[in-house]
Amino acid sequence: MSARFATHVAYEPPAYALRVLEVLERAGHEAWIVGGWVRDALRGAPCHDVDVTTSALWQDGARILREAGIVVHETGTAHGTITAVVDGRPVEVTTYRVEGTYSDHRHPDEVHFVRSVQEDLARRDFTINAMAYHPKRGLLDPFGGCEDLAAGVVRAVGDPRKRFAEDALRVLRAVRFACRMGFSIEADTHKALVEMAPLLGDIAQERIGQEVSGILESGRMGWALMHEPEVIGAAIPEVTDMQGFDQLSSWHVFDVMEHTAHVCNAVEAFTAGVASLRLRWAAFLHDIGKPATLSIDENGRGHFYGHPILGAIMAERIMKRLAIPGELTRGAVALVRYHDHIIRPTERSMRRVLAILDEECTGEAMTLAHELMDLKRADAVSKQIKCAWYAVELDEMDRILRSEGSKGATVRVKDLAIGGRDVIEELGIDPGPMVGMALSQLLQAVIDGEVENTREALITELWRTAQQTE
Ligand code: ATP
Ligand code: MG
């Protein structure tokens, strides 16, 4: 009977990887392609970088590959890994191995090299990642990875509790793979995830940061928050407070966590799934300041005064802790800080926003402003139905933004048609803080639409204000 699911790769391995297999096997060893490449070739996804697993001890592998003229870097020899470079393409080559005990939920206490590929596959995390492929011998799939791939399921190899206890990072990897491929998590594996998620406390923050970034990059953080809140909460403890947090407000039909999940999803919908990473981070963390800022008025209604400011502080702290790059953090934090900022569909209001955002992220005000519109739109449609009208107003704001963009909106002092030297010469004053203040005032007047950004108009305005202050 033929299988009801694909057991054939959609394309053959690239020539540079075949060369590595051939050189190792000609010397009498066995070698297979494993992991991500096999998974992605079976599901017809774009070609993944190639990892090879081999019976050759790394020292022998390195020697044989070098003798064949291949450059080899000793990248992880403690774990039996070397990197061969063929035609400029790196291939990771790892000796068949199993891992000893794990006493810290992170690193195996020791690794043992073994003789059989089956044993090597058994130490891998998920069935879909525990398959090996060889162009002549075909597919090796001892744990039903193909079937799980076809069913769209992430399932641990072996006893999930044991596997997550060995290496707690697998908890987050499970969610990342589910998000990346739009898969669900098999019931027993899911139960173990919930149970073992607290072990993430033993994992280095930057490794957690990488996995959380991977989840955000998939555009499915909304799904992760709804289906695996314990995992995301264990990765970022501040998130836990959002779960089940009633907003006590007629503006909201969801608790903070559900609302956040909806915003993450809506951001994807409004950007056709290509939201920038900073917008995704911002959607994820925009209301992180809410639980700590709740106040209840005499009518029992909840308010969250200052939550964007506290949210920005918390988002910055979280992203820094997770070693997210500074530039990405700056943009995301700016979006969190201004997500509730009142903006009107007028040129003046939009120019003010651009000026504020330019101060946060110089040179990126226009892109950031469009992202702010997307965040606000996603926020509006994820509250009460009566808030949805605001999304229409945001369309008008987007239109104004585009028109300001094409006009080259004036948002900072250096966009002005005159500079410091002009101020000094016109007013006959000495260089100093007065010059900067005069220019800032002119900028404000231009942003507010009171003065045109031309040399004549600015100089006239300069004289007018100078006379007023005399
Ligand atoms: P991608 O690189 O696209 O995220 P991948 O499957 O290549 O996916 P890697 O992290 O590069 O994942 O690891 C390569 C392979 O090594 C995996 O497919 C899996 O078989 C194994 N592996 C990686 N990390 C672990 C882990 N923490 N526990 C068990 N096996 C792992
Ligand atoms: Mg990989």
- Write the DSSP string, 204-272: -HHHHHHHHHHHHHTT-HHHHHHH-HHHHHHHSHHHHTTTT-----TT-SS-HHHHHHHHHHHHHHHTT
Pocket flag, ligand 1, residue 169 (CB < 6 Å): yes
pLDDT at 1: 44
41 and 90, same domain (yes or no): yes
Residue nearest to atom 4 of ligand 1 (CA): 36
Ramachandran region, residue 8 (left: φ > 0; alpha: ψ -120 to 50; beta: rest): beta
Which atom of ligand 1 lies closest to the CA of 51? 14
CATH of the domain at 313: 1.10.3210
Residues 343 and 437 in one domain: no
pLDDT exceeds cutoff 80 at 36: yes
Task: For residue 216, tell me if it sits in a domain.
Answer: no
| pLDDT at residue number 470 | 63
**Cα Rg for the chain, rounded, in angstroms?**
28
Residue 49 CA to ligand 2 centre (angstroms): 6
Q: Whose CA is nearest to atom 30 of ligand 1?
A: 124
pTM: 0.90
Same domain for 440 and 393: no
Among 129-138, 183-192, 379-388, which stretch is predicted with the lowest mean pLDDT? Answer: 379-388
CA-closest residue to ligand 1 atom 21: 124
Separation of 129 CA from ligand 1 center, angstroms? 7
Considering only residues 397 and 387, tell me which one the structure prediction assigns the higher pLDDT: 397
C-alpha 45/C-alpha 183 separation (Å) is 14
Nearest to 315 by CA among 292, 340, 336: 336
> Can you read off the two tokens belonging to residue 413?
């002092």
Residue 352 Cα to ligand 2 midpoint, Å, equals 45
Instruction: Give the number of other Cβ atoms within 10 Å of residue 325's Cβ.
Output: 11
Contacts of 196 (CB under 8 A, 6+ apart): 161, 164, 165, 168, 171
The pLDDT of residue 299 is 86
**Are residue 444 and residue 353 in the same domain, yes or no?**
no
| Residues 324 and 341 grouped into a single domain | yes
Instruction: Indicate whether 182 belongs to any domain.
Output: no
Q: How do residues 141-197 score in pLDDT, each as one tens digit?
A: 999 999 999 999 999 999 999 999 999 999 999 999 999 999 999 999 999 999 999
pLDDT band per the 50, 70, 90 thresholds, residue 236: very high
The type of residue at 342 is: I
For the CA of 121, the nearest atom of ligand 1: 20
- Spatial neighbors of 136 by CB under 8 A, at least 6 apart, are none
- Confidence band, pLDDT 50/70/90 cuts, at residue 257: very high
Q: Does a structural domain hold residue 230?
A: no
| Tokens at 359, concatenated | 């101060």
- Closest-CA residue, ligand 1 atom 1, reads 36
Please identify, among 86, 118, 152, the residue that sits at the C-terminal boundary of a domain.
Answer: 152
| Judgement on whether residues 316 and 440 belong to the same structural domain of the protein | no
- Boundary of a domain, candidates 131, 152, 173: 152
Is 405's pLDDT higher than 60? yes
| C-beta of 218 in contact with ligand 1 (< 6 A) | no
Q: Whole-number mean pLDDT of the chain?
A: 93
Ligand 2 center to 160 CA (angstroms): 21
The mean pLDDT value for 401-408 works out to 84
**138 or 469, greater pLDDT:** 138
Residue 406 CB partners (closer than 8 Å, separation 6+): none
Measure Cα distances from 336 to 273, 283, 370 in Å.
20, 8, 14
pLDDT (0 to 100) of residue 390? 79
Question: Measured at the alpha carbon of residue 133, what is the angle toward residues 127 and 139, in degrees to the nearest 5?
Answer: 75
Instruction: Say if 223 falls within a structural domain.
Output: no
- Overall average pLDDT of the 23-40 stretch: 97
Q: Are residues 397 and 453 in the same domain?
A: no
Name, in order, each residue with C-beta under 8 angstroms of 417's C-beta and a sequence gap of 6 or more. Answer: 453, 454, 455, 458
Tell me which range, 148-157, 385-394, 422-431, is most confidently predicted by mean pLDDT. 148-157
Residue 393 has pLDDT above 90, yes or no: no
Instruction: State how far the Cα of 179 lies from the Cα of 227, in Å rounded to an integer.
Output: 11
Token pair for 271: 């950007």
Sole residue written with tokens 């697998």: 170
Q: Does residue 191 lie in a domain region?
A: no
Percent with pLDDT over 70 in the chain: 98
Residue 451, pLDDT > 80, answer yes
pLDDT band at 244 (very low <50, low <70, confident <90, very high): confident
Domain limits for position 293: 250-407
> Do 292 and 423 reside in the same domain of the chain?
no
> Residue 214 CA: which ligand 1 atom is closest?
4
Looking up residue 28, the CATH number of its domain turns out to be 3.30.460.10
Ion ligand 2: residue ranges with CB closer than 5 A:
36
Ligand 1 proximity of 124 Cβ (cutoff 6 Å): yes
* Residues 135, 47 share a domain: yes
Based on the domain organization, do 267 and 403 belong to the same domain? yes
Residue 51 and residue 19: Cα distance in Å, rounded? 13
Overall average pLDDT of the 233-239 stretch: 97
Report the range of poorest mean pLDDT among 114-118, 370-374, 409-413: 409-413
In a domain, 436, yes or no: yes
How many angstroms separate the Cα of 405 from the Cα of each of 117, 294, 369, 427?
A: 58, 38, 11, 32
Name, in order, each residue with C-beta under 8 angstroms of 396's C-beta and a sequence gap of 6 or more: 345
- Inform me whether the pLDDT recorded for 2 exceeds 60: no
pLDDT given at position 409: 78
Regarding the beta carbon of 170 and ligand 1, being less than 6 Å apart is answered yes
Given a cut of 90, whether residue 373 has pLDDT beyond it is: yes
Mean pLDDT across the stretch 264-269? 96
Ligand at minimal distance from the CA of 177 is 1
In a domain, 29, yes or no: yes
Q: How many domains does the chain have?
A: 3
pLDDT of 3: 58
Does 244 reside within a domain? no
Q: How far is the CA of 323 from the centre of ligand 1 (A)?
A: 21
Instruction: Say whether both 51 and 110 belong to one domain.
Output: yes
Q: At what angle do helices 307-321 and 326-338 cross, to 10 degrees?
A: 160
Q: Say yes or no: 380 and 431 in one domain.
A: no
Ligand 1 contact via 167 beta carbon (within 6 Å) = yes
Q: Considering 120, 137, 152, which residue would you say is the last residue of a domain?
A: 152
Range ranked top by mean pLDDT from 97-101, 224-228, 395-399: 224-228
Tell me which residue has its CA closest to atom 9 in ligand 1.
Answer: 36
**Per-residue tokens: 458:** 């600015």
Task: Point out the ligand 1 atom lying closest to the alpha carbon of residue 169.
Answer: 27
Q: Residue 407: what pLDDT?
A: 80
Q: What is the DSSP string of 435-456?
A: HHHHHHHHHHHHHTTSS-SSHH
CA of 126 to the centre of ligand 1 (A): 9
